[in-house]
Amino acid sequence: MKALDVSQTVLKAESQGLNFFYGQAQALHDLSLPVYDRCVTALIGPSGCGKTTYLRCFNRMHDLYPGNRYEGAVILYPDRVNIVGPEVDPIEVRMRIGMVFQKPNPFPKSIYENVAYGMRIRGVSSKTELDMVVERALQEAALWGEVKDRLQASAMNLSGGQQQRLCIARALATSPELLLFDEPTSALDPTATSRIEELVTELKQKVAIVIVTHNMQQAARVSDHTAFMYEGRLVEFDRTEKMFTNPSVKLTEDYVTGRFG
């Protein structure tokens, strides 16, 4: 892979020769990929290419299920901790790295409790502090105006798009250093999708973002860098505009022009 001109950007995380196994089956092969701070990195590729598997390595979600195994390293900067190292506590990793899932998954609790939960498990119980965090997170997720008069209403009464923004607010409440999006708009209509995309573009002012997407237009619209994966391997990584206009690898060109996948 060619070296990139990224002199003005700061590394936030980097996978180095990452292999991942579901039991005996190897799902990721020797994946090395940088994630830059205050940038959006998009992961694209056909179904089953390992994008989501790769994303879930970043917050050790694979640890929840037996038989999964990591090899290699995912380094989180600035303290250069190896996220997938066996000596690193996955809970600590998840407290630094937030995640938004494919389907909106709010807790069946009030809007307020959904956003406050991350702080509550960190031991924050002061009402004023929680109020502040909830308002800030909802503002950042562009949901505050719609829900400020009904914070105690159930989150399940919100529309799908609002639920997804609530999940973003929930992840933002704990001020993560890196935010993972796993196809966050695949269950939403076009209007809700464009709101989420705007949000992603705004959020990168504050936080590094990795987004998995099926939708190549979406990757082109929101991301600064794009990684194209195929069969558990990285095919190409470059600036997004280069990936979509002048990719170096034939396979990437075939994929982004819609010839397969």
What residues contact residue 106 under an 8 Å CB cut-off, 6+ apart? 114, 155, 156, 158, 163, 166, 167, 170
- Rounded distance between C-alpha atoms, residue 261 and residue 249, angstroms: 16
Is 167 one of the binding residues for other proteins (CB under 8 A)?
yes
Rule CB under 8 A: choose which of 131, 156, 189, 245 binds other proteins: 156
Is 116 one of the binding residues for other proteins (CB under 8 A)?
no
Is 88 one of the binding residues for other proteins (CB under 8 A)?
no
CB of 244 to other proteins, least distance (A): 30
CB of 147 to other proteins, least distance (A): 18
Is 64 one of the binding residues for other proteins (CB under 8 A)?
yes
Is 118 one of the binding residues for other proteins (CB under 8 A)?
yes
H-state helical runs in 51-174:
51-58, 90-96, 111-120, 127-140, 144-147, 160-172
- Rounded distance between C-alpha atoms, residue 58 and residue 18, angstroms: 11
Choices 60-68, 139-147, 200-208, 211-219; region in contact with other proteins by CB under 8 A? 60-68
- Rounded distance between C-alpha atoms, residue 223 and residue 209, angstroms: 9
Residue 228: which of 244, 207, 245, 209 has the closest Cα? 244
Is 184 one of the binding residues for other proteins (CB under 8 A)?
no
CB of 61 to other proteins, least distance (A): 7
**CB contact at 8 A, 203 and 209:** yes
Which residues are near other proteins by CB under 8 A? 59, 61, 64, 66, 91-92, 94-95, 98-99, 101, 103, 105-108, 117-118, 120-122, 154, 156, 167, 170-171, 174
